[in-house]
Amino acid sequence: MEQRRKALVFAAVFFAALLGIGLLSVKSSNYKDVSQLKLYKEPVRGLNVRGTTVPLQPGVYLLRIGDTVYQFTVRTVQPYAVAKRVQGPPIGGDDEYALFLLRGGDGYTVAALFSAKTFQQFYGTSPIMEQKVVVTGLYNPSQKAVIYRLGPDGPQPVAGPYPVFWVDKILEGCHQSYEAPSGKIA
Amino acid sequence: MSSGRKTGLLYAAAAALAGLDFALGVYAVYRAPFPLRVNLGSPTAYFNIYLHIPMAWATYLLYTGAFVSALVYLIRGGEKWDRLVQAFVTLGTVYAVFTLVSGMAWASESWGAAWNWDPRETAVLLLLLAYLVYFALRGSIPDPDRAATLSAAYAVAAYSMVPVSFVAPRLVQSLHPTASSFGHFMGRPDVMAVFGPKVLLSSIVALLLAYLYAERLRGAAAPGWVRYVAAGFIVAGVAVGLVLASPYLSGGVERVAAAKLDSQGRIVSLTLVGPEGNRTVRLPSPVPSPVQPAVYEGKPTIVSHLVRVAGGRVEVVRHWSVALNAAAYPVIVGLVLLLLSRRPRQATGEH
- The backbone torsions φ and ψ at residue B201, rounded to the nearest 5 degrees and listed phi first, read -60, -45
CA of A173: which chain B residue's CA is closest? B175
B28-33: average pLDDT: 95
Which sign does the torsion angle of CA A42, A45, A46, A47 carry? positive
Q: What is the pLDDT of residue B150?
A: 93
The C-alpha atoms of residue B158 and residue B154 are separated, in whole angstroms, by 6
**Would A79 be classed as within a structural domain?**
yes
Residues A54, A135, single domain; the answer is: yes
Residue B192 has pLDDT above 70, yes or no: yes
**Would A133 be classed as within a structural domain?**
yes
| Strands A68-74 vs A59-65: parallel, antiparallel or unpaired | antiparallel
Partners of B185 on chain A (C-beta within 8 Å) are 178-180, 182
Q: What is the pLDDT of residue B109?
A: 87
Residues A123, A60, single domain; the answer is: yes
Q: Is A127 within 8 Å of B39 when comparing Cβ atoms?
A: yes
Q: What is the pLDDT of residue B180?
A: 67
CB B337 within 8 A of CB B63: no
B23-40: average pLDDT: 91
Shortest Cα–Cα distance, A124 to chain B (Å): 4
The C-alpha atoms of residue B175 and residue A173 are separated, in whole angstroms, by 4
Residues A6, A69, single domain; the answer is: no
Residues A148, A109, single domain; the answer is: yes
Residues A7, A96, single domain; the answer is: no
Residues A80, A26, single domain; the answer is: no
SS3 B316: strand
Residues A136, A65, single domain; the answer is: yes
Q: What is the pLDDT of residue B351?
A: 39
Kindly state whether A2 is in contact with chain B, defined as any CB-CB distance less than 8 angstroms: no
Residues A20, A43, single domain; the answer is: no
The C-alpha atoms of residue B121 and residue B117 are separated, in whole angstroms, by 6
pLDDT tens readout for residues A169-179: 887 655 567 77
pLDDT tens readout for residues A74-123: 988 888 899 999 999 999 888 999 998 999 989 999 999 999 888 776 66
Q: Is A19 within 8 Å of B182 when comparing Cβ atoms?
A: no
ω into A161 cis (within 30 of 0): yes
B327-331: average pLDDT: 97
Spell out the residues 6+ positions from residue B160 whose beta carbon is closer than 8 angstroms to its own.
A15, A16, A18, A19, A22
Shortest Cα–Cα distance, A121 to chain B (Å): 6
**Would A185 be classed as within a structural domain?**
no
- State pTM to two decimals: 0.85
The C-alpha atoms of residue A78 and residue A84 are separated, in whole angstroms, by 17
pLDDT tens readout for residues A16-60: 999 998 888 877 766 789 999 999 999 999 888 989 999 999 999
Q: What is the pLDDT of residue A21?
A: 87
Kindly state whether A86 is in contact with chain B, defined as any CB-CB distance less than 8 angstroms: no
Which of A4, A132, A178 is opposite residue B182, by nearest beta carbon? A178
pLDDT tens readout for residues B75-105: 999 999 999 999 999 999 999 999 999 999 9
pLDDT tens readout for residues A138-169: 999 999 999 999 988 889 999 989 999 999 88
Select from A102, A62, A69 the least CA-distant residue to A85. A69
- Interface confidence (ipTM) of the complex: 0.76
**Strand pairing partners for A87?**
A69
Which of B30, B160, B304 is opposite residue A15, by nearest beta carbon? B160
SS3 B189: helix
Residues A59, A16, single domain; the answer is: no
Q: What is the pLDDT of residue A172?
A: 64
Residues A103, A138, single domain; the answer is: yes
Which of A139-153, B143-157, B166-180, B280-294 has the least mean pLDDT?
B166-180
Residue B30 has pLDDT above 90, yes or no: yes
The C-alpha atoms of residue B95 and residue B63 are separated, in whole angstroms, by 10
The secondary structure of B251-268, three-state, reads CCCEEEEEEEECCCCEEE
SS3 B174: coil
Residues A61, A72, single domain; the answer is: yes
CB count in 10 Å sphere of residue B190: 11
Counting residues of chain B whose pLDDT is more than 90, the rounded percentage is 72
Q: Is A125 within 8 Å of B145 when comparing Cβ atoms?
A: no
Domain of A17 in residue numbering reads as: 1-30
CB B169 within 8 A of CB A29: no
Which of B46, B158, B255 is opposite residue A121, by nearest beta carbon? B255
The secondary structure of A119-183, three-state, reads HHHHHCCCCCCCCEEEEEEEEEEEEEEEEEEEECCEEEEEEEEEEEEEEEEEECCCCHHHHCCEE
CB A117 within 8 A of CB B276: no
**Would A184 be classed as within a structural domain?**
no
How many CB pairs lie under 8 A apart between chains A and B? 218
The dihedral over CA atoms of A153, A155, A156, A158, expressed in degrees to the nearest 10, equals 140
Please work out, in degrees rounded to the nearest 5, the angle formed at the alpha carbon of residue B205 by the alpha carbons of B136 and B65: 45
Q: Is A177 within 8 Å of B35 when comparing Cβ atoms?
A: yes
Q: Specify the amino acid at residue A181.
A: P
Residues A106, A126, single domain; the answer is: yes
CB count in 10 Å sphere of residue A148: 19
**Would A168 be classed as within a structural domain?**
yes
Task: State how many domains chain A has.
Answer: 2
Q: Is A29 within 8 Å of B36 when comparing Cβ atoms?
A: no
